[in-house]
Structure 1
Amino acid sequence: MRAAIYIRLSRETEESTSPERQRAACEALCKARGWKVIAAEEDIDVSGYSRGLDRPGLQRILARLTEFDVIVFFKIDRLARSTVDFAEIMKITQNEGVALASASEPLDLTSSMGRAMAKVIAVFAELESDTIGMRVSGAHEHLRREGRWTGGRVPYGYRVADNPDGPGRILVVNPDEAKTIHAMVERVLKKDSLMQIATDLSKSDVPSPGHTSRQTNGRRSDSKQWYTTTLKSLLTNPQLLGQVVEDGKPILRTDGLPLVTRPPILDMDTWHALQDELKRRKGAGEQRRERTSLLRAVLYCGLCHSRMYTFTAKGKVRYRCIGRLKQRQRTGDQGTCYGPNVAAEHTEAHVTALFLEQFGKLPVVRMVERVGEDFRPQIRQAEGALSDLEKDRYERGLFKGEDGARRYADQYTKLEDRLASLKERQNSAKPAGVEAVPTGKTFGEMWKDASTEGKRDLLLDVGTYVDVAPARRGGPRMDTSRLSVFFGDEGKLRRAEADGKNTRPVIDAMAEDVDGTLL
């Protein structure tokens, strides 16, 4: 009979079922039965549970079934880790008239009883696999709560180091990567676009999070290219706060708060300011392309009050109104607007000069939303735990005997103390609100360092609105008298009216009479 030997190992460190031992046992069986070995395939460092039948070595054997009479393996759990997979392999091989033989289990898979016994063994192999998974998961959970590193991809901004307080390894801040993160955050808060930040990082030759120089396993890349998706994923990851994340979600402590076992890279105020800025950019008005025009959403037609957009004519960029086109698309009517246009260079220079003249020397104050403290969910959790503890003692009959009474009293005292502490903290909890935080820079300084998107955002934040009147026949090529520039609440009100939006929020803000120039 022609035999094929199949060997599988989940990890190369498993000495009990090493490839050499598996091969020796399979070859010994073939020699004792007088079978001729014509092929041997291996799947090393391949999980039989997570990969199913999608294993390179196994697929090569299944693709050549016409060349074999029997497939030899060390144990059933080396061939398959689930009953479903084992049954599928048996079905495939039986259809091709190929037998299965275990080198360490006395099974005759050519009979109905033997196949039934093999399926029973496969059930226990699957159970063992699940048990191992639960043990590993529990061990990882314990290590994480102790602050130790459980392996896998190292989060950007950290590096693995020996645990100074005991066995195992921990994550500590990587100074170089933390410096890169702080630079990213600073640029985002200065209104720089993620596209420009990613481009600059790629040009600076800073390794990306998945580069082979910082990842020893998992998906790696030889490219140091940064992408906006990489930046978004990195800057919205709560691991920057030192939190432990699993499956994309922070692990919570028993009190419901995130588990923090490593030094944070960002403080809480910076984190919230960063998330607010990234959330603001998700709005429809913020999804603007890189290198888009400076006065987009700022320049409006004086005839139909539609936004003006850029176009190129004879190599020169100009702004024009497309309200006539929109009217024709909606109603088929040409409308009364003929689509006035202005030169982009001179218009942008004029608006910039007025903006800097009025705001350039003023300090920029950023409004940061302060997250309020609310311990009521934790109070409800503690009250529920006390109630459950009482039921365990008096209704379910637990905590019997002197030792049980002592343990009950200890747990009850701890819960009562925690509940009292939480109620005290709730009484003095800080309410949510908005806090004005000085940036230490003027509008002029921020304008100088900002990208096109950042400059446009500065214009929009101070309520810049520009109304473009029709050109006068025979007038100068660039007549700035056509441009009516408004700032502040009046500009915001005019924009809301032109865009057909609710003006009530703008009017309410005007009524509040907020002092200072805010972002």
Structure 2
Amino acid sequence: MTETTTATARALPRARRRKGVPANAPGMRASIYVRLSRETEESTSPERQRAACEALCAARGWTVVAVEEDIDVSGFSRGLERPGLQRVLSRLPELDVIVFFKIDRLARSTVDFAEIMRITEAQGVALASATEPLDLTSSMGRAMAKVIAVFAELESDTIGMRVSSAHEHLRREGRYTGGRVPYGYRVVPNPDGAGKVLEVNAEEAKTIHTIVERVLAKDSLMTIAADLSKGNVPSPGHSSRQTTGKRSDSKKWYTTTLRSLLTNPQLLGQVIEDGRPILRTDGLPLVNRTPILDMDTWQALQDELERRASPGDRRREGTSLLRGIAHCALCGFRMYTYVAKGQTRYRCIGRLKKRQGGEQIDCYGVSIAGEAMEAQVKAKFLDAFGRLPVVRMVEHVGEDFRPQIRQAKEALNDLEKDRYDRGLFKGEDGANRFAAQYAKLEERIASLEEKQRQAKPAGVVGVPTGQTFAQHWEAADTAGKRDLLLEAGAYVEVSPATKSGRTLDMSRLAVHLGEDGKVRRADADGKDVEHVVREFVMREAEA
């Protein structure tokens, strides 16, 4: 809120104070500055601050030419980057004095207060507190003001530490302390006492499980986000589920939204403080609410997201259908896409690669129409597999302690970073606490590794998806279809054209599927063919 006086007030002559003239001299042009961190602070309400400042100006004969406010703005976290304060500082040539309720309303930091004093002194503008008897035009007055600012900063730090400690205690007790509600949960009254707690939101949890299943089934994040947006599913930041903080009226989902949601450890029921999980005394994350995902699913999900984050897999998600599947029959090299006259074609670049290495081969760069070849490979694939049901292979954990071992090792790594990188656990007491937590984690890892050595090996169970390969093909994007072809062992050999024509000469294509295709692709990619054959023989024996 900004108020200015009429043009006659602006036209008053500049009344610069001479050095040593007190700030209570009459005829000054004053700007009132009001700040409030939260509108619930009744003791320092904007009205009370403004009234006190106006009373001081009236008593000293100052003319109020502007009133600026920063409401619901923290003086500690925002520093000098406050809209109202910046408007005051931009008008210093028009002012003689800035009036505020208390020094802590002007600045919460000694550094910030000193910077404001430096800026105003350079422009010959005085500072006046409506409730503190300070003459800021004298050396003693400025020194006293800085002392008061130090205590204001100390009070702010003490309040912050007290509030942070109280919040951590409440979170350890399972209480909700405000802020953004994690997706998959909702706020309900605490059934065991005062305050509120978070419980699983069944509808949102169902959405999360659907997303996770699709990610593990190799669906792209872009496709999932588009489907959620089309389904009108509220996004995590939508105003229908967020009453405070940053909100949006759009229900649209983005890949960044999905990745942020799927990597949030609160899905495991962990309690987050300042962006990091609160730890128990043994160094492991504290879990005091019902988890939405189990540890095995979480680890599989993180592995899949990490795989996609690699540069090679980022390229894979936007790749052509037969990349890594189509090979040149002359030299065996992979074929890549290019566009000629608006049409996509596949071409062998083996000759180019060999030339870069100083070698020569007879291959001249076989090329073929992309759309026609892809249609032929699709027809062959659906003819062989289209009616078959899709079975998703799920690892049967049994007595698998590997996820717990991984979690404990991650906690140990975080503990070391806290001490050596972040500078925590200072002093003798801190060193003792670090040593105790470190010893407990090492003991837990050793115990879990011993259990893993004696555990029954994990198995793999086929879970029917209820869809045929044809149905799954139609619902998948390009990357998903390519994954289906790779899993089916697709390998395509493209021979040189022997005659010209508008239609594709099908005799140029040799489409191999199943184990034959996997062996051929392994050989073309320079992998261990015998290993592929051994895996096939073992599966045949088990069947």
1:244 to partner: Cα distance: 1.6
Distance 1:285 1:476 in 2: 35
Distance 2:533 2:104 in 1: 73
Moved more, 353-362 or 433-442: 353-362
Q: Could you tell me which of 257, 266, 276 is aligned with 1:249?
A: 276
Alignment-mate amino acid for residue 130 of structure 2: A
Matches within 5 A, 1:315-394: 317-326=344-353, 330=356, 336-356=362-382, 359=385, 361=388, 364-366=391-393, 368=395, 372=402, 373-374=404-405
Is this contact kept in 2: 1:376–1:426, CA < 8 A?
no
Alignment-mate amino acid for residue 435 of structure 1: G
1:19 maps to 2:46: yes
1:182 maps to 2:209: yes
Q: How many residues align?
A: 481
Distance 1:68 1:315 in 2: 67
1:466 maps to 2:492: yes
Q: Could you tell me which of 122, 128, 144 is aligned with 2:171?
A: 144
Distance 2:279 2:236 in 1: 25
Distance 2:44 2:343 in 1: 73
Matches within 5 A, 1:87-102: 87-102=114-129
Q: Could you tell me which of 108, 120, 133 is aligned with 1:106?
A: 133
Partner of 1:280: 307
Distance 1:255 1:162 in 2: 30
1:324 to partner: Cα distance: 4.1
Partner of 1:159: 186
Task: Describe the SS at the equivalent of 1:300.
Answer: strand
Partner of 2:460: 436
Distance 1:287 1:165 in 2: 48
Change (3 A) 1:276 1:507: farther
- The one-character-per-residue Cα deviations of 1:260-298 (angstroms, maximum 9, x if unpaired) are 122222223322332232233234442236664321211
Distance 1:215 1:517 in 2: 56
Partner of 1:192: 219
1:363 to partner: Cα distance: 5.8
Matches within 5 A, 1:202-221: 202-221=229-248
1:175 to partner: Cα distance: 2.5
Is this contact kept in 2: 1:147–1:170, CA < 8 A?
yes
Change (3 A) 1:97 1:174: same
Q: Could you tell me which of 260, 263, 282 is aligned with 2:287?
A: 260
Distance 2:392 2:332 in 1: 31
Distance 1:374 1:508 in 2: 29
1:43 maps to 2:70: yes
Alignment-mate amino acid for residue 195 of structure 1: M
Moved more, 54-63 or 214-223: 214-223
Partner of 2:97: 70
1:469 to partner: Cα distance: 1.9
Moved more, 280-289 or 367-376: 367-376
Change (3 A) 1:16 1:3: same
Moved more, 173-182 or 66-75: 173-182
Change (3 A) 1:371 1:232: farther
Q: Could you tell me which of 324, 330, 344 is aligned with 1:303?
A: 330
Partner of 1:515: 539
Partner of 2:479: 453
Alignment-mate amino acid for residue 26 of structure 1: C
Task: Describe the SS at the equivalent of 2:183.
Answer: coil
Moved more, 488-497 or 206-215: 488-497
TM-score of the pair, normalised by structure 2: 0.78
1:106 to partner: Cα distance: 1.5
Moved more, 150-159 or 46-55: 150-159
Distance 2:317 2:207 in 1: 22
- The one-character-per-residue Cα deviations of 1:309-350 (angstroms, maximum 9, x if unpaired) are 33455665432223345556x369885322223333443344
Alignment-mate amino acid for residue 470 of structure 1: P
Task: Describe the SS at the equivalent of 2:178.
Answer: coil
Is this contact kept in 2: 1:365–1:436, CA < 8 A?
no
Change (3 A) 1:433 1:363: farther
Partner of 1:482: 508
Change (3 A) 1:375 1:491: closer
1:294 maps to 2:321: yes
Distance 1:129 1:433 in 2: 56
Give percent identity, aligned residues only.
66
Distance 1:245 1:322 in 2: 51
Is this contact kept in 2: 1:191–1:454, CA < 8 A?
yes
